[in-house]
Amino acid sequence: MGLKEILEHHIVDHVWSRAVLGPLSVPFSKHLLMMVIASAILLVVFPLIIRSKSRVLAPFRAIIEIIVLFLRDEVVVPNLGHKGAAYMGYFSTLFFFILLLNLLGLVPFGATATGNLAVTAGLALTTFVLINFAGIKEQGLFKYLSHIVPKGVPGWLYPLLFPIELIGLVTKAFALCIRLFANMIAGHIVILAFISFIFIFGSLNVFVGFAVAPVSVGLVLFTLLLELFVAFLQAYVFVFLTAIFTGSAMHPH
């Protein structure tokens, strides 16, 4: 079994069955299961923690509260202005959804749904819709379209810049999609490579393989911790960039 098969086995989605929904063939897969688990946690556990008055759950409530307040005070309001409070639901959900999907990828037998291009594409698409929705709602459709090209550009450049800026709009969302996807699978690939070292060296000589094992495991542990950090970081980055793009769509100056 080569590295290719191992990688595909561990990173690529496992589709168990399919259903046809109009023109779309929707899969029932491991990544969908992860999303369902994350959604169940968000739908059941979060309201429970937030609404409960129990002292045992108070630290968890405080953690959620700190994160939401951080998002409000440091991410959403500075970028979107005071009207941004209305979008807090979107940003909070986005952060915790991505974070939970990232963390589920680090749980044994779990899979990283955010390491699937289709999933990140879905998130980026909703963000794309949100950016344009917020821009149009704030400025009106025509003003929004006219403000896509930055101010102070000479008139004759407009025909050239307008398509470029339109592409840029899509590129922002596309970059979000790729960034999250690449960051989430990169750690897994590195971990699998480190583990494969043991067997690569073991195929040379069994004792060399045993000698390499502790080093590999140490490196894997380190990478896992890094992935834990990246899980939080990428959730934050995704939300932060979404806020910046939405803010610039709402306030073009």
Interface residues with other proteins (CB under 8 A)?
4, 7-8, 11-13, 15, 18, 21, 24-27, 29, 31-32, 35-36, 39, 42-43, 46-47, 50-51, 64-65, 68-69, 85, 88-90, 92-94, 97, 113, 116-119, 121-123, 125-126, 185
User: In the numeric block, which tokens belong to residue 45?
Assistant: 């556990």
DSSP 8-state symbol, 83: G
Minimum CB distance to other proteins, residue 72 (Å)? 8
Minimum CB distance to other proteins, residue 208 (Å)? 28
Closer Cβ to other proteins, 29 or 212, answer by number:
29
Closer Cβ to other proteins, 96 or 236, answer by number:
96
> CB neighbours of 186 closer than 8 A, spacing ≥ 6?
none
Closer Cβ to other proteins, 25 or 205, answer by number:
25
Burial class (CB in 10 A: 0-12, 13-18, 19+), 219: middle
State the Cα–Cα distance between residues 204 and 200, nearest whole angstrom.
7
Minimum CB distance to other proteins, residue 237 (Å)? 17
Beta-bridge partners for 28:
17
Of 120, 72, 74, which Cα lies nearest the Cα of 234? 120
Amino acid symbol at 201 = F
Closer Cβ to other proteins, 21 or 156, answer by number:
21
Is the CB of residue 121 less than 8 Å from the CB of residue 177?
yes
Minimum CB distance to other proteins, residue 19 (Å)? 9
Closer Cβ to other proteins, 21 or 56, answer by number:
21
State the Cα–Cα distance between residues 65 and 201, nearest whole angstrom.
48
Minimum CB distance to other proteins, residue 136 (Å)? 18
